[in-house]
Chains A and B, each alone.
Chain A
């Protein structure tokens, strides 16, 4: 474990050297444990691939006091403290206008587009972390065969719901943003609902499985989601 101060109001706790599901499970569990202490003046606890960034109010904490408290906190073992992440089934319309890079990714992998879809949908992915935009999940690990590097030039705008991949990661764009990942499909399920009480569909440590759907189902689900958007939201779990 390595403590890396990030300026005068954050510190990163590094738990491992590489992207690894066990190290990440430890990061999520440890972040939950830190957040659960309810220490006042700790403003954000952010688990990432293999580390946690703790943001603190420098008027209420100094670095020594904070690191002493962090080091005194028993570090959970990955399987012990982490509640099993929720498994999400994400329907995706692959290819066509919704996934303009599918053919390119398939030929990169030496596969037919249908085989590339099957391979992408065959893995149960882990939500390693959220970042980039509200609710954007970094999912891994993508099968080696599909691990194509990002586009040389990012697209100026990627439509919300687009499913992309880059290297050993796959992800979903929750809002329209510029983006450099290869787009292979699109989901009608919103990942970020700005008017919801719990606006974020996915949480660190959750699991995601993609389910290929056809155009009809995509349109039907899109209509249902638009309708659901108008209804009051459930309380967060």
Chain B
């Protein structure tokens, strides 16, 4: 029996709301950015709370969330930034699985903490996969909902409401695992092993200064304002692969922190790379927020990430079963 999918109207789109999953991998060699959620931890938790595999598509809402009208019953979780979500005017908890009745209206208010909020729905948001991913890359109009952010009047589809999964409701992320977002973040970095592209003072400047996230920051990268990191003039940098979290330094010495929609290759040398375990905290920074950097080894960085995932797995085990319609429309053509 084919069950009806959950239909959701986009009444207001919010400031920047996109469909994202864990990213489009395997095509960086053709210049295709990875995209995907900026805060992987929040998105993964949201998916596990509603009983989804980690890679299900979620909504990433930025600064000001959307207004959504539920035409059908649904199960959802709101994670990440606290943008004051309400359901029919009542505050709702973050990091918790909720049931929503048909006819309900989800709204967001002011930004309390963080910058990007995630909305996970049972079985994920149903958009076609493009190159193996449902993530939106707006600059190339690829993936997501016709390759663009949500607009008023859009209709979203979630998986069919599953009454059998009632035991999920009220399940929440244990307090001890809740990320503490801070508008003055301290991010750990792995320093680049090459020293020829920078003057000796650059690394110590990086590690002893406060940088402010500039207004011209987006999903591609954050421009950071602060003491310049002096380049060494003699060495010409030949374009090479970039990484999410890399701090690229152009000639003016003002670093750019590369984020989810980063270019796959870059012509500016990286001085350091933010560790994977701290990228979710970087994702929750907005313009005007500040950041400091602390050095960390690769072994330490990987151990931190593993520990965090072990703790998460113990609290909310990953969903591995391939439930009914998760593959949904297997069309690799983006037009719908």
A contacts, CB < 8 Å to B: 4-10, 12, 14, 18-19, 31, 43-53, 55, 58-59, 62-63, 129-136, 138, 175, 177, 192, 194-197, 199-200, 203-204, 233
B252 an interface residue at 8 Å Cβ cutoff? no
Are A134 and B301 neighbours in the complex by a CB distance under 8 Å? Answer: no
How far is it, in angstroms, between the C-alpha of A49 and the C-alpha of B333 when the chains are bound? Answer: 31
Closest to A138 in B: B239
**Shortest CB distance A51–B (Å):** 5
Closest to B308 in A: A59
- Give the residue of A9, A49, A53 whose beta carbon is less than 8 angstroms from that of B276: A9
Are B241 and A6 neighbours in the complex by a CB distance under 8 Å? Answer: yes
Q: Which 8 pairs between the two chains have the least Cβ-Cβ distance?
A: A53-B241, A7-B273, A131-B265, A8-B301, A130-B31, A200-B30, A44-B28, A46-B241
B66 an interface residue at 8 Å Cβ cutoff? no
How far is it, in angstroms, between the C-alpha of A52 and the C-alpha of B29 when the chains are bound? Answer: 10
How far is it, in angstroms, between the C-alpha of A46 and the C-alpha of B273 when the chains are bound? Answer: 18
Q: Of the 9-residue stretches B1-9, B102-110, B139-147, B155-163, which lies at the interface with chain A?
A: B139-147
Chain B 157-187 interface 0/1 with A at a Cβ cutoff of 8 Å (1 = within): 0000000000000000000000000000000
Provide the residues of chain B in CB contact with A199, threshold 8 Å: 30, 131
Are A175 and B25 neighbours in the complex by a CB distance under 8 Å? Answer: no
| Given contacts A7-B274, A8-B276, A197-B332, A46 and B28 within 8 Å (CB-CB) | yes
Closest to A52 in B: B241
Chain B 128-148 interface 0/1 with A at a Cβ cutoff of 8 Å (1 = within): 001100000101111000010
| Given contacts A7-B246, A44-B25, A132 and B265 within 8 Å (CB-CB) | yes
| Given contacts A131-B265, A194-B334, A48 and B240 within 8 Å (CB-CB) | yes
Chain B 80-114 interface 0/1 with A at a Cβ cutoff of 8 Å (1 = within): 00000000000000000000000000000000000
How far is it, in angstroms, between the C-alpha of A46 and the C-alpha of B265 when the chains are bound? Answer: 9
Provide the residues of chain B in CB contact with A47, threshold 8 Å: 29
Give 24 A-B contacts (CB < 8 Å), ordered by A residue. Answer: A4-B193, A5-B298, A7-B190, A7-B275, A8-B273, A10-B243, A12-B241, A43-B26, A44-B27, A44-B28, A48-B238, A50-B240, A51-B240, A53-B242, A58-B302, A58-B306, A59-B309, A129-B265, A131-B264, A134-B33, A175-B141, A195-B335, A196-B333, A200-B32
Provide the residues of chain A in CB contact with B306, threshold 8 Å: 58-59
Provide the residues of chain B in CB contact with A19, threshold 8 Å: 238
Provide the residues of chain A in CB contact with B31, threshold 8 Å: 130-136, 200
- Give the residue of A9, A53, A134, A195 whose beta carbon is less than 8 angstroms from that of B32: A134
Q: How many residues belonging to B are interface residues under a CB distance threshold of 8 Å? A: 51
B282 an interface residue at 8 Å Cβ cutoff? no
Provide the residues of chain B in CB contact with A14, threshold 8 Å: 240
Are A203 and B305 neighbours in the complex by a CB distance under 8 Å? Answer: no
Are B245 and A134 neighbours in the complex by a CB distance under 8 Å? Answer: no
Closest to B310 in A: A59
Are B141 and A53 neighbours in the complex by a CB distance under 8 Å? Answer: no
B299 an interface residue at 8 Å Cβ cutoff? yes
Are A4 and B194 neighbours in the complex by a CB distance under 8 Å? Answer: yes
Are B333 and A195 neighbours in the complex by a CB distance under 8 Å? Answer: yes
Closest to B143 in A: A194
B77 an interface residue at 8 Å Cβ cutoff? no
How far is it, in angstroms, between the C-alpha of A140 and the C-alpha of B137 when the chains are bound? Answer: 28
Are B270 and A6 neighbours in the complex by a CB distance under 8 Å? Answer: yes
How far is it, in angstroms, between the C-alpha of A58 and the C-alpha of B25 when the chains are bound? Answer: 15
Chain B 258-292 interface 0/1 with A at a Cβ cutoff of 8 Å (1 = within): 00000111100010011110000000000000000
Are A7 and B301 neighbours in the complex by a CB distance under 8 Å? Answer: yes
Are A8 and B334 neighbours in the complex by a CB distance under 8 Å? Answer: no
**Shortest CB distance A190–B (Å):** 12
**Shortest CB distance B47–A (Å):** 16
Are B30 and A10 neighbours in the complex by a CB distance under 8 Å? Answer: no
How far is it, in angstroms, between the C-alpha of A29 and the C-alpha of B241 when the chains are bound? Answer: 16
**Shortest CB distance B193–A (Å):** 6
Closest to A10 in B: B243
How far is it, in angstroms, between the C-alpha of A225 and the C-alpha of B12 when the chains are bound? Answer: 36
Are A49 and B130 neighbours in the complex by a CB distance under 8 Å? Answer: no
How far is it, in angstroms, between the C-alpha of A131 and the C-alpha of B241 when the chains are bound? Answer: 9
B43 an interface residue at 8 Å Cβ cutoff? no
Are B193 and A5 neighbours in the complex by a CB distance under 8 Å? Answer: yes
**Shortest CB distance B78–A (Å):** 25
B34 an interface residue at 8 Å Cβ cutoff? yes
| Given contacts A7-B245, A8-B273, A51-B240, A62 and B299 within 8 Å (CB-CB) | yes
How far is it, in angstroms, between the C-alpha of A136 and the C-alpha of B263 when the chains are bound? Answer: 11
B154 an interface residue at 8 Å Cβ cutoff? no
